[in-house]
A and B are shown apart, each in its own frame.
Chain A
């Protein structure tokens, strides 16, 4: 049994990939954890880049050297990597270059959901869509052959349900030992220059024509003729749902969805009375089929958002029901929360008490955007807090002095630094709080350049975040411990009052990276009047029992913030564990 994302790693390994790059995200973390278990893991070097643009550039560089390279991104990560993605397609590759994108149709693990296939369409990049773990393995291996044969990056598109599904697998082959090519001196092809765009487009068009011929012969597609009444065209995990939902129907499973295997599709459509296209998110296959002149149904019956299921397909396609809704109930929600004792909740607590307008970023701090911390007024995208806050104050000067940008160190190092440069070069006032926890905590604690360690397992050189921000030109940079609520509040108040740019680095390592034992936990004494002040921290270690607050000695890591906010002196440190 293997997770889909593990099958990506296994496929890359078998294909002789030398370099695997990614930015920290949930899917790549699983692939990394899987590959690290291998004894010969060092044959396949794994690197986490600060962002997806760098990750793909590094992978492209490896391809240029003749080595095979893999870059794994989430769908919004492909946006960040769009520049090298488009340019890499225009120029072509040497060693096979495969990008695996993990889309999230339900927006379950991301803030919004986006289909990465139309990006590949714009970029003239072929798209493979396997349906379960073993096919993912095969698709990755085939993708490298296609990449080198047709001189193009290849996108293998997964969805969350595929990446995190485990299925029975058959044995896998040996690692292919691929000879490295020698570096080609001054190859005209690889230096993209102005004035050559038209030629590049001709090359891309010819490549897509040849790929379309290949697509019609590819073993990746599979037509299963049964009833002539209904013919279902599908790909990815949707093919699995559709087979369950429409027993007896004819099926055309597309392993390659761009370019569409036109002859295969036309032949299939000619043999059935009605064609139904089953795909999550955008009508990607459907639109291409319409261009071929194949009448079909699809998004007129099926939703454009959310994850499908066999049940949803049955109800929507056969009964005409609006699908995709989860039955409503009046149960209290249980969203993910900031961890017990995470010191960075102190930032949100202080900002709430100061009634600040909080422009947040993505990462663990967004877990504090739910009640009771309720910490964020707006969050746009990863690395976006500083730029958005600056624009807000510019657009509405009345809000200046109230607006605070809050970003984690991972988000700042991902793509927030240029926004700080922007503020500095425009002499902009403002308050920026950087929660420095020394890792990308949200996706499982991956390292970044201010962590001091990397995936290779050893210590690494380290970015001094406060010094970096000073070097950019920010004059007021203060480092504080966010669990010192009084001290933090004073620093933030001063910053909000000042007319300059104030950057506050709230430094406290992620609790999950703690070396050695945590300080002694806290406990509630008989002084407790159940006033609820401690609960405003939203700490999962604090519960309620018998008319007073109760602190779980198991969960408490001794951060002391609840004792600081208690107005009745009813929270003490335990004397022993």
Chain B
């Protein structure tokens, strides 16, 4: 059983990442369940999506990942990554963190403080983590809004799914006009994570 947490801020396209991942797992023949964060949190709040798929014919029961039960965490924003660190299995859990800090309006207004040294704090809690600049890679792929595809490309390095399921999963999850640029974004994320694989 592989359990994945996807987190970000309402307005970021975490839904797309969840769609791609779900399609890829189903295409690989794995029993798959997701739990999607629909509702008010989409208005700029903390989003947490759960994705689980079985290995070797195993069935998925609970659609939700338990605290301490996630194999991998993908964070679209650093603070949300730290907030979800407790979902990861202690010691073996891995994280892919988008290098981006979004300050909640309450922080800008001085009602709360955004933590300093976030990267250090994340690395202290999640020894096996990779930071990558999803926005820069998406722009390189001429798909500035395809940060989701970049991050799923990185995640794909970590998952026991066959390599040939991903391109269709990406293409089927976006509108026709964005298919090839989204695939390019996926590949850039994939390459970035491959290059860093020895590190994580």
Q: Give me the interface of A with B, judged by CB distance under 8 Å.
A: 1, 3, 26, 30, 108-109, 132, 160-161, 164-168, 237, 240-241, 243-244, 307, 309-312, 326-327, 329, 331-339, 364, 367, 370-372, 442-443, 532, 535-536, 538-540, 542-544, 549
Assess A310 versus B66: contact at CB under 8 Å? Given A244-B61, A532-B110: yes
B interface majority secondary structure: loop
Assess A535 versus B61: contact at CB under 8 Å? Given A1-B23, A167-B33, A334-B80: no
Structural contact, B106 and A26, CB atoms closer than 8 A: no
Residues of B25-66 at the interface with A, using a CB-CB cut-off of 8 Å, are 26, 31-46, 60-66
Q: Which of B10, B26, B60, B83 contacts A331 (CB 8 A)?
A: B83
Structural contact, A309 and B66, CB atoms closer than 8 A: yes
B200 proximal to A (CB < 8 A): no
Q: Which of A132, A237, A243, A544 contacts B108 (CB 8 A)?
A: A544
Residues of the A chain whose Cβ atoms lie less than 8 Å from the Cβ of B82: 331
Assess A337 versus B103: contact at CB under 8 Å? Given A164-B38, A309-B66: no
Residues of the B chain whose Cβ atoms lie less than 8 Å from the Cβ of A334: 9, 44-46, 79-80, 104
* Bound CA–CA A372/B40 (angstroms): 18
Residues of the B chain whose Cβ atoms lie less than 8 Å from the Cβ of A237: 62-63
Tally B residues with Cβ within 8 Å of A: 50
Q: Which of B111-119, B155-163, B174-182, B183-191 sits within the interface?
A: B111-119
* Bound CA–CA A241/B63 (angstroms): 8
Structural contact, A240 and B63, CB atoms closer than 8 A: yes
B123 proximal to A (CB < 8 A): no
Structural contact, B105 and A3, CB atoms closer than 8 A: no
Structural contact, B105 and A311, CB atoms closer than 8 A: no
A-B interface, 5 closest residue pairs, ranked by CB to CB distance from nearest: A311-B66, A372-B109, A336-B45, A109-B39, A336-B43
Residues of the A chain whose Cβ atoms lie less than 8 Å from the Cβ of B46: 333-334
B127 proximal to A (CB < 8 A): no
* Bound CA–CA A47/B10 (angstroms): 28
Q: Which of B32, B110, B113 contacts A168 (CB 8 A)?
A: B32
* Bound CA–CA A336/B115 (angstroms): 19
B169 CB → nearest A CB, Å: 11
Assess A367 versus B66: contact at CB under 8 Å? Given A164-B37, A535-B110, A543-B108: no
B1 CB → nearest A CB, Å: 9
B34 CB → nearest A CB, Å: 4
Residues of the A chain whose Cβ atoms lie less than 8 Å from the Cβ of B44: 334, 336-337, 339, 540
Q: Which of A1, A367, A544 contacts B43 (CB 8 A)?
A: A367
B79 CB → nearest A CB, Å: 6
Task: Report the nearest B residue to A309, measured CB to CB.
Answer: B66
* Bound CA–CA A160/B11 (angstroms): 21
